Amino acid sequence: MENTKGISRARFLAGAAAVGLAGAVLPTGQATASEASEASEASEAGGGASGHRGLKHRGVVYTLGEGETPGTAWSAARMRRDVRVIRDQLHADTLDVTGDDVERLTTTAAEAAERGLHVWLQPTLGDIPERDVLESIAECGRFAERLRRQGASVDFSVGCEFWLFVPGIVPGETVLERVENLQKGTVDMPKMQRRLARFTAKAAKVGRSVFHGRLSYAAAQDEEFEPVDWNLFDVVGIDYYSYHREPSAYIRELKRYQRWGKPLAITEFGTCTYAGAPEAGGMGWDVVDHTKTPEEIKGDLVRSEHTQAAYMTDLLKVFESMGLYAAMAFEFVTPDAPHRPDNPRYDIDMASYAITKPIKDDPNDPNSNWHWEPKEAFRSLARQYANCP
């Protein structure tokens, strides 16, 4: 149904649901004296376990979906052009390759490796049996290991918030049903977390059995909601959508994940493209009425590429000051959320976290072909990425 499509195409819902349901975003406000002290210490010492300033890897999430219409169907030729742009114009050194099809994942990972990019490979499959999820992890992990042995720079993530995507952890046959059950407050949380821990351990074991480089997982940022045993992994991965008024608050929040003494990767960060979106945190996507045909923006939002760009570049400065292992902007493009400069009511790109805007050749034809154009966030990140140490 239409509502399910709207959620599935926005993978950031994974982190968003945890933020919205478990209150991961801390109250905004002025920094306390202790927070300011932490910020100063982090700035002076690099803040991270690595002990140096700057990110080791800077990248962007590249989500591989099959497309909702013939016009937005996945294209290998388009992917290859995008990878070149990501390297040469965005100045990223890392491509976070994620999605729900092993062939698309491995083809894109190979292209990124051939272009000299660091590959962060992460299968993200939803609403399929547990055994099939584990099989896809094994297939992708074996491919990542082949790339690594051939000399490519590769990290392998076994997946993204399993509680949302893997049936049997939270009641519900689909992502939408699981989110609804969580929102109702009827889920047995201790039981959910035990199931989640068991599956995460299984996934880590499968990943270790086939891949011998750095292993990770992309978790929701609320540790009370999704506690992860990071002893299972080499890199702590967090999908991060907080909003604070002061950099010190971000630093205080992120330092919690460094207590494991392992590299910290921000596996997703970003915001939508309208005034006020950062304050909505991970729930910024929830401004589209998916029951309408065509879908339309709810309320009287004001498009603001500057808001998106400023938030992302400010966060990137925090990550650089802490010397984090990696940060991947979410995301490169969302083909099924087109930009309509002529009609704000149907400018679905406002609800997109992407740093490029898809524009249809014929805005009134759902099956129309399309191209993307860079947003201000693309240009701002490109400048920062180009100047990273």
Contact 119, 97 (CB under 8 A): yes
pLDDT for position 337: 92
Distance from chain centroid for Cα 112? 18
Task: Using alpha carbons, list the distances in angstroms from residue 313 to 38, 227, 306, 383.
Answer: 20, 29, 10, 10
**Average pLDDT per run of 10 along the chain, which is 389 residues long?**
33 39 32 36 38 82 85 91 98 96 96 98 92 97 98 98 93 89 91 97 98 97 93 98 95 96 97 95 86 90 97 97 97 94 94 96 89 98 90
- Residue 281 CA to residue 271 CA, distance in Å, equals 7
Residue at token pair 């990696």: 326
Token pair of 170, please?
Answer: 């939270």
pLDDT for position 281: 84
> What is the distance between the terminal CA atoms of the chain, rounded to a whole angstrom?
47
Phi then psi dihedrals of residue 291, to 5 deg: -85, -15
Q: 3-state class of 261 per DSSP?
A: coil
- Residue 118 CA to residue 55 CA, distance in Å, equals 13
pLDDT for position 366: 82
pLDDT for position 39: 39
Phi then psi dihedrals of residue 380, to 5 deg: -70, -45
pLDDT for position 294: 87
pLDDT for position 389: 66
Sequence-ordered strand ranges (E) for the chain: 57-64, 94-99, 118-123, 154-160, 214-220, 235-240, 264-269, 288-289, 296-297, 326-329, 356-360, 370-374
pLDDT for position 126: 85
Contact 159, 105 (CB under 8 A): no
